[in-house]
């Protein structure tokens, strides 16, 4: 009892319709979800800002040795990169008094400077 090509196609189309219905909430929410593709211009602007802060060339920026050598390890430099509240500054100082921390310029360029809930920034 083999199905005809038309029957197989009808079954496939019905299944596709069913699956599309299941992802409809995501497709609707997707409009508000920021992705790297949507944020590329912001990342590029932050990269240029950091290159200016560190007086770096494009060649230096793309060199991992330079990235490691120029990690952000102090609150003053971090404040030039992202906007911190007084509470956040105090938290960085408190953590920094016990633990070493560092952020590469590249990683910092991925942070949303104004959003404390930015997933990259929260790390």
Tell me the helix, strand and coil percentages in the chain, rounded to 5. 70, 0, 30
Please state the pTM of the whole predicted model. 0.70
Residue 110 has pLDDT above 70, yes or no: yes
Q: Is pLDDT larger for residue 87 or for residue 32?
A: 87
Q: Retrieve residue 3's tokens.
A: 């199905």
CA distance 68 to 56: 13
pLDDT tens for 58-82 read 999 999 999 999 999 999 999 999 9
The domain segmentation of the chain, as residue ranges, is: 1-33, 36-122
Q: Is pLDDT larger for residue 33 or for residue 24?
A: 24
How much is the pLDDT for 1? 64
pLDDT tens for 1-14 read 688 998 999 999 99
């Amino acid at each position: 009892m083999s199905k005809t090509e038309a029957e197989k196609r009808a079954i496939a189309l019905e299944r596709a319709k069913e699956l599309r219905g299941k992802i409809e909430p995501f497709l609707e929410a997707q409009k508000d979800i920021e992705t790297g593709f949507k944020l590329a211009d912001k990342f590029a602007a932050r990269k240029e800002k950091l290159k200016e802060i560190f007086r770096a060339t494009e060649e230096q920026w793309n060199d991992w040795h330079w990235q490691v050598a120029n990690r952000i390890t102090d609150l003053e430099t971090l404040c030039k990169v992202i906007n911190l509240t007084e509470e956040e500054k105090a938290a960085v100082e408190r953590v920094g008094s016990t633990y070493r921390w560092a952020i590469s310029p590249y990683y910092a360029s991925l942070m949303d400077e104004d959003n404390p809930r930015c997933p990259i920034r929260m790390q």
